[in-house]
A and B are shown apart, each in its own frame.
Chain A
Amino acid sequence: MYFGFPFRPQQASTVSVAWDHLFYFLTAVAIFFSVLIFVAIFYLAIKYRRRSADELPPPTRENLPLEITWTIVPLALTVVMFVWASSLFIRDSRPPAASTEIFVVGKQWMWKIQHPEGPREINELHVPVNQPIELTMTSEDVIHDFGVPAFRIKKDVIPGQYTTEWFEATKTGRFHLFCDQYCGMGHSSMIGWIIVMPPDAYERWLDSQMKVEPMSAAGSRLFSQLGCGTCHGPGQVAKAPSLAGLAGATVKLQNGQTVVADDAYLRGAILTPRQVAGFPAVMPTFQGQVSEDEVLQLIAYIKSLESPQGSKGKFQ
């Protein structure tokens, strides 16, 4: 803060410092060349100003080495920028293995968030500091975008598919959450707060929340309400594949394709089923019968199921 006036967004995540260094480099390059061009224009225009109305300057000479120089130098600079930016981007695009998964559903015009332990929040997300958090996000209507400037993260939240982003907060405090993708009338009020707490305070906050069932338990309840067990229940291996250990496993489809049963696959299998090899095509669609929240709960339940070998099914 200078003169009570911020020139830099807060740096509150593990990626923000390194990303800012790249930003400063780009800014330096931009300022250098802007100043270079401005100074050159002023200097040349004044030095060679017209001194008499009928003045005729000498002819323009082509200068190939100069042309090549000012093609190669910017090219080299952009190669540096490209390599630097891309390596940062690749390094930071996958969440650490120990991430906690939290689920986000965007809706005109609010953020609905659910923790795996069960608590739900609207337009607020409480997280512990120094803990990587992976967000799995989808939308109930239009495209939104979950952006947190202090963490330097931003990702579109798209209906009909899951997108993910992750962050690890390094400072406690309240940080703005913005919807960055224009989403209709209330777009500018679709903002909220990320509240980063010390781990013990976060535990107390979790405990203080209404006693709600964890997502997997809610999913289990839905599973029986919707009658999924009739085909997918224990022992019913003739009609439908067993779901135990399914999450993260590879699945062979009737059409010969092999796919990994990630969140997106599980969502598709519930809403727009595809025939799995060796099973009849009897699975009905549940499109319109379950909300995006409920799909996420069902997925949480499926992920919680132990595989027959005893190893817990794990995504990724």
Chain B
Amino acid sequence: MSGAHSGALVAHQFDDAEQQHASASLGMWIFLATEVLFFGGLFCGYTLYRGLYPAGFEAGSHLLKVQYGAAYTVMLICSSLTMALGVRSAQLGKRKALVTFLVLTILLGAAFVFIKLRFEWYGDYLEHIVPAIHWAPQGKALAEITRLGASLNHVELFMFFYFVMTGVHALHMIIGVGVMTWLLILAWRGRFSPDRYNQVEMAGLYWHFVDIVWIFLFPLLYLIGGRY
């Protein structure tokens, strides 16, 4: 049965829950397509300059702390798992499980952002390898750049891409954590049911997308230059 019987579960413009779900899902996929193009501009610039200045990008990559990158990767893959389990819980109407998995997802996401800002980026700042703001590589960093015969300008360009790409990604993580927190409040209040979990599913799609972007960022930024 459709329309009138679904009551407030279906917004006024839709005939039934099925139409509403299909619309939300298509809308989310289209949104993710725009996100691909948004990140695509960055990947395009990255590719061009990596081709032009291989030594600069190699040296720049060697300045990054790969242990952080690896840790983030594990954290994000785990968070994708907890998110997927959360969506499954919502689908089955298990409120407690949903709340638990949302909390785990939020924790992993927030930890990612916290470690990135507090330890990795702040560490870069202390090492004078933040382009434009605090750029004066010295010590080991400078030695690595010299060893590879890279131009300081080109390494700076790499670091700029690193900060912009991971920065835009971190911004998506922050937005994602915000959305998850909102969902958590709704879930706590018991607003989701097997008939009504669209928002959890859509947020899940977004979350997986942001994770996948990281799966591309990690090797492109941290693992190039034949170090590993």
Chain A residues within CB distance 8 Å of chain B? 254-255, 272, 274-275, 281, 285, 287
Contacts and interface: CB of A to CB of B under 8 A. Distances in A.
B81 to A, nearest CB: 41
Name, among B54, B149, B151, B153, the residue most crowded by chain A CB atoms within 10 Å (CB to CB).
B149
A111 B153 CA distance: 29
B149 A285 contact: no
B17 interface: no
B26 to A, nearest CB: 32
Contacts of B54: 255
A258 to B, nearest CB: 15
12 contacts: A254-B149, A255-B54, A255-B55, A272-B151, A272-B153, A272-B154, A274-B55, A274-B149, A275-B149, A281-B149, A285-B151, A287-B153
Interface in B26-65: 54-55
Interface in B89-128: none
State the majority secondary structure of interface residues on B. helix
A24 B153 CA distance: 50
A110 B78 CA distance: 60
Interface in B150-208: 151, 153-154
A287 B153 CA distance: 11
A287 B152 CA distance: 12
A181 to B, nearest CB: 21
A274 B53 CA distance: 10
Nearest to B154: A272
A283 B54 CA distance: 18
Contacts of A254: 149
B143 to A, nearest CB: 13
Contacts of A285: 151
A205 B138 CA distance: 56
Contacts of A287: 153
A15 B213 CA distance: 51
B225 to A, nearest CB: 12
Chain B interface size range: under 10
A274 B148 CA distance: 11
Contacts of A272: 151, 153-154
State the majority secondary structure of interface residues on A. loop
Given A255-B55, A272-B151, 10 more contacts: A254-B149, A255-B54, A272-B153, A272-B154, A274-B55, A274-B149, A275-B149, A281-B149, A285-B151, A287-B153
Contacts of B149: 254, 274-275, 281
A272 B155 CA distance: 13
What 4 A-B pairs come out closest when comparing CB atoms? Answer: A281-B149, A275-B149, A272-B151, A255-B54
Nearest to A257: B54
A255 B153 CA distance: 19
A50 B54 CA distance: 71
A144 B154 CA distance: 25
A223 to B, nearest CB: 22
Contacts of A255: 54-55
Contacts of A281: 149
B124 to A, nearest CB: 24
Contacts of B151: 272, 285
Nearest to A254: B149
A32 B154 CA distance: 54
B99 to A, nearest CB: 55
Nearest to B147: A281
A254 B153 CA distance: 20
A113 to B, nearest CB: 29
A272 B157 CA distance: 14
B7 to A, nearest CB: 46
Contacts of B55: 255, 274
Contacts of B154: 272
Contacts of A275: 149
A310 B92 CA distance: 86
A294 B149 CA distance: 25
A287 B151 CA distance: 11
A190 B93 CA distance: 71
A272 B150 CA distance: 10
A209 to B, nearest CB: 38
A281 B150 CA distance: 10
A105 to B, nearest CB: 22
A216 to B, nearest CB: 28
Nearest to B148: A281
A285 B154 CA distance: 13
A191 B6 CA distance: 72
A272 B55 CA distance: 12
A239 to B, nearest CB: 15
Nearest to A273: B151
A254 B54 CA distance: 12
B73 to A, nearest CB: 29
A255 B55 CA distance: 9
A281 B55 CA distance: 12
A254 B150 CA distance: 12
A274 B151 CA distance: 9
A90 to B, nearest CB: 26
